[in-house]
Amino acid sequence: MIAFGSIALLRPWWLLALPLAAMAYYAIKTGGGGPGQWQRAVDPPLLSAMARRGLLAPGGKSDLAPALWALVILALALSGPALKRRDADRFRNLDANLILVDLAGEATDRAQLRQATTAAHLALEAGAARQTGLIVYAGDAYLAAPMTDDSAATGSLIFALDGETVPDPGVRPDLALALARRIAANAKIVAGDVTLISSGAGVNEAAVSEARALAAAGLKVHTLFTSQEGRGESGQTAGRAALAKLAASGAGVAADAGAPSPVTSAIAGRAIRRLGGSSVASLYWRDYGRYVLFAACLPLLLAFRRIAR
């Protein structure tokens, strides 16, 4: 499935028929469609009758244009052109996008906070129109923005975050992950993505267990590493390793906040892959391919009209 906003192709692999049809048409027109080929395969009286009825174009070659256009339209119809249903918001709990941001005191120097908020905004955009929630944490975890598809409001809130947003000292990513799991359970989320943006501080076995529980519930846990000034190379390496372990436990992807494309691509593509390959797609998208099939009759009717003439 390929989606472009509210427009999608449910079965895009059928478009592979288009270059194959073009190659076949070119091969027939240039290589094997001369009168000599027909004369060897068809009796002369039948060949003459075909020419009189217009089945042979001038020069002795069959006119394949109507059949080619019918094949092109047929491939487009089978590719499943679809529009998102107006009542698609009824299925908003099929997929969720939860963003968790570490706002502990040691994780909110100016450069690191800028990395975190930028990465959070990119994760928000990758979720497209999916329901998105924002959780911030330090020594405790709080729901900063409830599940909503109003990405503009959530985006404004992300850039308002600072080191004083969460007053509790400490750093407890396990509490943030546990809160994300409770929110998903209460909203009856079927599947989704949880993105933890952190320097890796505070990641312990409790956090790893929560990541496993989220993965078991259908939510993949991704991590984005934010570098911290004054932590040293060994500390940075340990933070990356902790977040990589957390993502692996949550069946997700780990990346740096400065290069988040592996995570954002996973967020953007997961809903399309899951929805496009299931029967739920027929509830979320209205397939107009069956109506396009009727258009394939038009070039064939034109061919019959030519024969009749």
User: What confidence tens digit (pLDDT) does each residue in 47-97 have?
Assistant: 777 777 766 655 444 566 777 888 888 888 888 888 877 655 555 556 789
The pLDDT score that the predictor gives to residue 17 is: 85
Q: Which amino acid, residue 85?
A: R
Which string of DSSP letters, residue by residue, matches 42-91? S-HHHHHHHHHTT-S-TTS----HHHHHHHHHHHHHHT-EEEE-TTGGGG
Residues 163-208: pLDDT tens digits?
888 989 999 999 999 999 999 999 888 888 999 999 999 999 999 9
Give the tokens for residue 216.
Answer: 């078991």
Average confidence (pLDDT) over 219-236 = 86
The C-alpha atoms of residue 279 and residue 104 are separated, in whole angstroms, by 43
In whole angstroms, how far apart are CA 280 and each of 100, 105, 220, 276, 298? 28, 44, 20, 8, 32
36 or 235, greater pLDDT = 235
